[in-house]
């Protein structure tokens, strides 16, 4: 299965490079009634700003049309010495930043000498990758590992070979382990490529110590394989098992793991739900180890929760595996 080895690499590279919440090149248009020196100064300031792309000067009656068709995200109206910034606030989080960029540029002509210096601890260039690479790792590992193992048992059920396995004298624990070993080896190869790429190509730092990071990742892989196996023992058909692992699990993992949206903001009930999403703990721990440079003692909580989840899933699969005979 070459795809299992190539897919994570392509996904990691794509997402690592492409996903970013940095806002730049905001397209804007300008309405001008008279070219006074102030207007010229503001126009140059807007033109020279790297975050803003000045697309052109338009008539006042076209303001609504250019905004509605999405050609620009903001229009600056310069009339009677006043400045009115009209924002396309459909994307409210982006428009807040766009608005504050533009007002600060317009203000800079009449600036106040208030000086503020800022320090971004752990991530001085504010790279989104520091945020997304652990997220993508958490997402890819769990889904791919679970998708690999989730058909293993249920396929035996569908083809009828399950009965043969059950009447054989082999203990279920060995069958379950044997089913995992090949996928575990595959996942280790994936882990190596993913870590190498994220460090050398995507410039992710590994500030903490490597053995801690590796232990954490291996534990997470085991957990993900167990999760797939557990789904496999529960599901009645391959279709259902695959649907659960590929489609149903994808949404909570993206939404509730802190990869896209901060977990702190979740409403209380959803926060409780997010506690059972393994990716949430993994992503948090990976960030701590890779970016903040904490050692094992710093991630003890996350690590032990992941351990408990793995054991619970393992016990669950063995139990389900045993009472399959009807």
Partner 1 sequence: MKSVLPILMRKEITQFRRNKVLPRLVMMMPIMLVLIMPLVTQMDIKNISVVVLGEDRSLLSTRIESHLANSDYFRMPESAYDYNHAVELMDQGRVDLIVSIPAHFERDMRNGHGKPISLTANAVNATKGGQGIQYATQTIISAVTEIAAESGLSAEGGLSVEGGLITVQNRYNPTGNYRHFMLPALMIIVLLLVCTFLPLLNIMTEKEHGTIEQINVTPVSRWEFILAKLIPYWILALVMIGFAMLLAWAVYGLVPAGNPLNIFIGAFLFSLCMSGFSVTIANISNTMQQAIFVLFFFVIQFMLLSGLFTPISSMPTLAQWLTYAFPPRYVINIFRSVYLKGTLFTELWFDYTMLFILAAVFYTLATFTYKKQN
**Binders of partner 1 in range 119-138 (CB under 8 A):** 119-124, 126-128, 130-131
218 interacts with partner 1 by CB under 8 A: no
Q: For the CB of residue 158, give the shortest distance to partner 1 in the complex, in Å.
A: 8
d(CA 13, CA 57): 39
Q: Which of residues 42-71 bind partner 1 (CB under 8 A)?
A: 65, 67-70
Q: Interacting stretch for partner 1, rule CB under 8 A, among 6-14, 165-173, 189-197, 224-232?
A: 6-14
86 interacts with partner 1 by CB under 8 A: yes
- Minimum CB distance to partner 1 smaller for 250 or for 315: 250
Q: Count CB neighbours of 76 within 10 A.
A: 24
Contact by Cβ (8 Å): 19, 127: no
Task: Classify strands 26-32 and 52-57 as parallel, antiparallel or unpaired.
Answer: parallel
The backbone torsions φ and ψ at residue 285, rounded to the nearest 5 degrees and listed phi first, read -65, -40
- Minimum CB distance to partner 1 smaller for 289 or for 310: 289
Q: Interacting stretch for partner 1, rule CB under 8 A, among 95-103, 168-176, 178-186, 193-201?
A: 95-103
178 Cβ neighbours under 8 A, 6+ residues apart: none
297 interacts with partner 1 by CB under 8 A: no
d(CA 235, CA 249): 14
Q: For the CB of residue 171, give the shortest distance to partner 1 in the complex, in Å.
A: 26
24 interacts with partner 1 by CB under 8 A: yes
Binding-site size for partner 1 (CB under 8 A) equals 95
Q: Which residue from 15, 141, 183, 220 is in contact with partner 1, where contact means CB under 8 A?
A: 15
Q: Which residue from 9, 32, 39, 83 is in contact with partner 1, where contact means CB under 8 A?
A: 83
Give pairs for 126-132: CB < 8 Å, separation 24+.
Answer: 126/22, 127/203, 128/19, 128/20, 128/21, 128/22, 129/16, 129/20, 129/202, 129/203, 129/204, 130/204, 130/287, 130/291, 131/287, 132/15, 132/16, 132/19, 132/20, 132/259
Q: For the CB of residue 199, give the shortest distance to partner 1 in the complex, in Å.
A: 17
Contact by Cβ (8 Å): 197, 284: no
Q: For the CB of residue 284, give the shortest distance to partner 1 in the complex, in Å.
A: 10
d(CA 248, CA 277): 13
Q: For the CB of residue 6, give the shortest distance to partner 1 in the complex, in Å.
A: 9
Q: For the CB of residue 148, give the shortest distance to partner 1 in the complex, in Å.
A: 8
d(CA 60, CA 201): 47
14 interacts with partner 1 by CB under 8 A: yes
Contact by Cβ (8 Å): 8, 144: yes
Question: How large is the C-alpha radius of gyration of the chain?
Answer: 26
- Minimum CB distance to partner 1 smaller for 88 or for 310: 88
94 interacts with partner 1 by CB under 8 A: yes
89 interacts with partner 1 by CB under 8 A: yes
- Minimum CB distance to partner 1 smaller for 26 or for 219: 26
Q: For the CB of residue 30, give the shortest distance to partner 1 in the complex, in Å.
A: 14
């Amino acid at each position: 299965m070459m795809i299992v080895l190539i897919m994570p690499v392509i996904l990691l590279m794509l997402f690592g490079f492409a996903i970013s919440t940095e806002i730049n090149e905001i397209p804007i248009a300008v309405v001008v009634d008279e070219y006074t020196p102030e207007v010229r100064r503001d126009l140059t300031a807007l033109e020279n700003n790297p975050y803003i792309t000045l697309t052109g000067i338009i008539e006042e009656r076209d303001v609504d049309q250019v905004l509605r068709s999405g050609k620009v995200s903001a229009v600056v109206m310069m009339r009677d010495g006043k400045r009115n910034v009209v924002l396309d606030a459909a994307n409210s989080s982006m428009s807040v930043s766009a608005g504050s960029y533009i007002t600060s540029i317009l203000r800079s002509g009449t600036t106040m000498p208030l000086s503020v210096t800022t320090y971004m601890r752990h991530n001085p260039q504010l790279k989104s990758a520091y945020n997304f690479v652990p997220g993508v790792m958490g997402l890819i590992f769990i889904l791919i590992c679970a998708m690999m193992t989730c058909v293993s048992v249920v396929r035996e059920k569908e083809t009828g070979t399950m009965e043969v396995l059950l009447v054989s004298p082999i203990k279920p624990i060995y069958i379950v382990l044997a089913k995992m070993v090949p996928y575990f080896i595959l996942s280790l190869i994936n882990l190596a490529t993913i870590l190498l790429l994220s460090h050398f190509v995507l410039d992710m730092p590994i500030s903490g110590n490597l053995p801690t990071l590796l232990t954490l990742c291996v534990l997470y892989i085991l957990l993900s394989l167990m999760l797939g196996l557990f789904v496999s023992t529960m599901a009645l058909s391959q279709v259902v098992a695959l649907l659960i692992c590929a489609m149903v699990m994808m949404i909570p993992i993206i939404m509730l793991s802190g990869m896209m949206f901060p977990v702190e903001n979740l409403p209380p009930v959803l926060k409780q739900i997010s506690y059972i999403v393994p990716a949430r703990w993994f992503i948090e721990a990976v960030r701590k180890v890779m970016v903040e440079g904490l050692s094992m003692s710093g991630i003890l909580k996350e690590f032990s929760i992941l351990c408990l989840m793995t054991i619970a899933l393992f016990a669950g699969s063995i139990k389900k595996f045993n009472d399959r005979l009807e």
